[in-house]
Amino acid sequence: MGMAPVLGKDATIEQLLPIFLSLLKDEFPDVRLNIISKLDQVNQVIGIDLLSQSLLPAIVELAEDRHWRVRLAIIEYIPLLASQLGVGFFDDKLGALCMQWLKDKVYSIRDAAANNVKRLAEEFGPDWAMQHIVPQVLDMINSPHYLHRMTILHSISLLAPVMGSDITCSKLLPVVINASKDRVPNIKFNVAKVLQSLIPIVDQSVVEKKIRPCLVELSEDPDVDVRFFASQALESSNQKKMPAPATCFSNHNQTNS
Q: What is the DSSP letter of 14?
A: I
Cα(38)–Cα(20) distance, rounded to whole angstroms?
10
Q: Is there a contact between 18 and 54 (Cβ–Cβ < 8 Å)?
A: no
Angle at 231 between CA 240 and CA 183, to 5 degrees: 120
What does each C-alpha distance from 46 to 73, 129, 172 come to in angstroms? 21, 29, 40
- pLDDT beyond 90 at 91: no
Return d(Cα 249, Cα 168) in angstroms, integer.
10
- Average pLDDT score, the chain: 85
pLDDT of residue 144: 96
Q: CA–CA distance from 247 to each of 165, 170, 255 (Å)?
A: 10, 11, 11
pLDDT of residue 107: 96
CB atoms within 10 A of CB 227: 18
DSSP label of 246: P
Mean pLDDT on 141-146: 96
Instruction: Give the confidence band of 184 by pLDDT, cuts at 50, 70, 90.
Output: very high
pTM for the structure as a whole: 0.81
Q: What is the pLDDT of residues 222-236, one digit of tens each?
A: 999 999 999 999 998
Q: Give the range among 119-133, 200-214, 238-252 with minimum mean pLDDT.
A: 238-252
Give the pLDDT score at 256: 43
- Residue-wise pLDDT for 199-227, tens only, equals 999 999 999 999 999 999 999 999 999 99
**pLDDT 10s digits, 170-180:** 999 999 999 99
Gap between the terminal Cα atoms of the chain: 53
**What's the pLDDT score for residue 78?**
86
Quote the CA–CA distance of 249 and 194 in Å, as a whole number: 18
User: CA nearest 159: which of 189, 196, 190, 198?
Assistant: 198
2-6, 47-51, 75-79: least confidently modelled range = 2-6
Degrees to nearest 5, angle at CA 254 with 248 and 256: 90
Measured distance CA(230)–CA(246) in Å, rounded: 23
* Domains of the chain, earliest start first: 164-257 (1.25.10.10)
Burial class (CB in 10 A: 0-12, 13-18, 19+), 232: middle
Cβ-proximal residues to 167 (8 Å cutoff; 6+ apart), any chain: 126, 130, 134
Amino acid code (one letter) for 106: V
Please, is 246 exposed, middle or buried when counting C-beta atoms within 10 Å of its C-beta (0-12, 13-18, 19+)? buried
Residue in 77, 247, 61 with CA at minimum distance from that of residue 166: 247
pLDDT digits (tens, 9 = 90+) for 11-55: 766 777 788 778 888 888 888 888 777 777 766 666 666 666 777
